Structure 1
Amino acid sequence: MARVHTVPQILQILFFSTFIICSLSSLVSANRELNEDNWKDILEGEWMVEFYAPWCPACNALAAAWKELSTIATRKNLGVKTAAVDVTQSPGLSGRFMVTALPTIFHVKDGSFRQYKGPRDVESMLSFVETRRWQQTEPVPGWKAPDSLQMTLVAEFFKLSQALRSVHTMLMETYGLPTWGSYLIFAVATIFIGAILGLVLVCIIDLLYPPRRSDKVLVSQAQLDKAKEDARKAEEEELINEDIVDDNETAGSDAEKNSASDSSEGGGAAAGSGGDAREVRKRRPRKAD
């Protein structure tokens, strides 16, 4: 009989323990940790997202209020979920959301992002959600939306900078390089990568816009010498023709001079007489004194 009474007690204990474990698991999973892989889950539904860093004192002070907000929101079935992003583990998300100060809180409603700038106590954050005061806040414009193409590029640059910083730290701590040595390696790598990118860009441009082929014909040296000889002969013939023309012009001018001199001697007297006659006719008789 003792065994019969102990079986229901064991079942009750198992039931209550299972209920407690489920409740605790729901409370623990209420505040979700976001990273580069699962951050798009906040594009559906209503979320409150916190960006923090473990070394940030203000973030550590907000931790208790944030957990309480998550617990109350789950208990009241407000339909809002809470999430957190560690910027040291997910630098791309900090660039995607343009986080410039810590802690930063965003309210997300069906892919519409609004930054929460109110007080950081539990009552104020609950009121922001319950009374829909987020409707009074202007959403983030489309070109700055975290899911836009340009912010995706910004996120990639943030991740690249974090990777370069990790490499810099490794070179200094693991290999014992001085700071200037690490910077020198980065400078050489930058020049090398820039040269490769420039070469690739030139190849792409040549493929898209190929240069026009010239219609020049290759001429042998013999043909070139022959062309020079022909040009020299043509120049000599031209000079000879010019000399002949000059001789003819000189002979013609001498003949014209001779004929002109003869005619001037013959007609000079007549012209002189005629001129004297004209002068005589034009003279007036002098008056008597």
Structure 2
Amino acid sequence: MAAGGRQPQPRPGATVTALRAAWLLLALGPAAAEPGSPGPTRGRVRVLSAANWSLVLQGQWMVQFYAPWCPACQQTEAAWESFGKESELLDTTVGKVDVTQEPGLSGRFFVTTLPTIYHAKDGVFRRYRGSRTLEDLRGYILERKWEVVEPVPGWKSPSSIMMHGMAGLFHLSGWIRHIHSYFTGTLGIPVWGSYAIFILATLLIGLILGLILVLIADCLCPPKPRYRAETSVELIEKDNAELTAVEEVEEAEEFSANELEEDLEERKDVSDGEDGAKSSEEANSNEDGSEEDSALDEGSGTEETEDIQHPTDLETQSSVRQRKSQVADNGL
């Protein structure tokens, strides 16, 4: 208690500050009372992040992807906040995602332009392509215009495995951007030096991953040995095959030798037959010559000479000529 029995009076400024804090607490509701709860609200619009994005898979949602530096996003900010205030009447939860703070979510929803708006109904997503005025947004929900819009394919849905991978890639890109800012801003490394570090790190990681893939491939599909030791059974089979080949060659040589001998014998028989025919022809020619000699002695040489002038064989004709010359000599 102060001197003189007076109690300290509260300052007017402190009372106003306390009233403002109480009013703000009541206005924000449970989200302000529980700072750790997912999806805090700013006004009536729920801010989504990588930790609570799965809430979109339940119920009806309208989610806008924006960036603070985007002029078009700045123009639609007021209409989106007003749309969020009517979310309870429309039975729709309105949310927004800052792509500069949540690159993983922008990759999961494959956001390529800003602002991008998605409508979600029990996990089925549709891209909103209408006007961004409050009237059009309200009519899209009240008139159920989303029913005539083709849903996003299953493989492109934010809950698909492919979009999980895409979210990881976008998150990695954001992480690399933060590291680049740390190198250039905090450590003072030049930009080209930061790029050189990233290039070397990429090459090193690629080399390590390549070696790991090669080891895995060798374990799963080991290469066949180029040269291997032959077993005793294989050696025996190989020797038998070689012996069989040698025997076949010898048989072929013997067969060719026998054929050659038979051919020579046939030729010999033919030549002997020809010699016998020649000898018989000579004997016949000798007999003819003796008869001609006797005919010449009797004075009938002119007729025999005419008969001899038409032989059928060359050898006979030559022998006749010899006999004729002998006869002529004897006549002289």
Question: So what's the TM-score if we normalise by structure 1?
Answer: 0.67
2:148 corresponds in structure 1 to 136
Distance (Å, rounded) in 2 between the aligned partners of 1:271 and 1:86: 129
Deviation string 1:75-108 (CA, Å, 9 cap, x unpaired) is x2x2101111000111111111111111111111
Distance (Å, rounded) in 1 between the aligned partners of 2:195 and 2:212: 26
Aligned ranges 1:123-272 → 2 under 5 Å? 123-173=135-185, 174-179=187-192, 181-212=193-224, 216-217=228-229
Deviation string 1:148-181 (CA, Å, 9 cap, x unpaired) is 00111111111112222222333333332242x3
1:47 corresponds in structure 2 to 61
Q: Gaps spanning 5+ residues in structure 1: where?
A: 1-16, 219-252, 254-260, 284-289
Contact 2:43–2:85 (CA<8 Å) still a contact in 1? no
Deviation string 1:48-95 (CA, Å, 9 cap, x unpaired) is 101011111111121111111111223x2x210111100011111111
1:3 corresponds in structure 2 to none
Distance (Å, rounded) in 1 between the aligned partners of 2:194 and 2:127: 38
Quickly say closer, same or farther: Cα 1:265–1:131, change in 2 above 3 A.
closer
Following superposition, the deviation at residue 115 of structure 1 comes to 1.2
Higher relative contact order (CA 8 A, sep 6+): 1
Following superposition, the deviation at residue 262 of structure 1 comes to 11
Q: Give me the identity figure in percent.
A: 41
Q: 1:61 aligns with which of 56, 71, 75?
A: 75
Moved over 6 A (4+): 17-20, 261-268, 274-279
Q: Residue type matched to 1:42 in 2?
A: V
Following superposition, the deviation at residue 268 of structure 1 comes to 6.8
2:29 corresponds in structure 1 to 25
Distance (Å, rounded) in 1 between the aligned partners of 2:202 and 2:42: 46
Q: 1:81 aligns with which of 82, 87, 93?
A: 93
2:268 corresponds in structure 1 to none
Q: Residue type matched to 1:47 in 2?
A: W
Q: 1:99 aligns with which of 94, 111, 133?
A: 111
Q: Residue type matched to 1:176 in 2?
A: I
Q: Residue type matched to 2:190 in 1?
A: L
Distance (Å, rounded) in 1 between the aligned partners of 2:199 and 2:166: 22
Q: For the aligned residues, what is the CA RMSD?
A: 4.1
Q: Gaps spanning 5+ residues in structure 2: where?
A: 1-20, 31-40, 231-263, 265-270, 289-307, 315-332
Distance (Å, rounded) in 2 between the aligned partners of 1:63 and 1:151: 27
Quickly say closer, same or farther: Cα 1:275–1:22, change in 2 above 3 A.
farther
Q: 1:280 aligns with which of 311, 319, 322?
A: 311
Following superposition, the deviation at residue 267 of structure 1 comes to 8.8
Which structure has the larger Rg over C-alpha atoms?
2
Following superposition, the deviation at residue 184 of structure 1 comes to 2.7
Distance (Å, rounded) in 1 between the aligned partners of 2:275 and 2:177: 113
Distance (Å, rounded) in 2 between the aligned partners of 1:167 and 1:271: 122
Following superposition, the deviation at residue 264 of structure 1 comes to 10
